Amino acid sequence: MIVLDYDQAHEFVDSKPGAFWDGYEIVLWNKNHNGATNLKGLYRNNLWGIADRISVDDDGKWRLPNKYAIRRRS
């Protein structure tokens, strides 16, 4: 699990393609034509995709699954 504070969350959104803010939720959107019929489907920039939403917790942190970790090449 990745735990982000306010500044780290902004850095994450700025560095992740397809990520954007919806209020205090981080939205992670990936293009997918199945989005038109998916419950998580979201139409954005004239394309369908699937969106995961990460809400801020009561302690002001965003908790993201490890699959969203940014891998750096060495």
In a domain, 70, yes or no: no
User: Hunting for tokens 């809400």 — which residue is that?
Assistant: 55
Instruction: Tell me how many domains the chain contains.
Output: 1
Phi-psi region of 7 (alpha: psi -120 to 50; beta: other; left: phi over 0): alpha
Rounded to 5°, the CA angle 53-17-48 comes to: 65
Task: For residue 54, give the 3-state DSSP assignment.
Answer: strand
Domain that holds residue 7: 2-57
Band of the pLDDT at 70, cuts 50, 70, 90? Answer: low
* pLDDT for the residue 12: 95
Q: What would the two tokens of residue 9 be? A: 């969350």
Tens of pLDDT, residue by residue over 7-54, are 999 999 999 999 999 999 999 999 999 999 999 999 999 999 999 999
In a domain, 23, yes or no: yes
User: Distance between CA atoms of 32 and 44, rounded to whole angstroms?
Assistant: 11
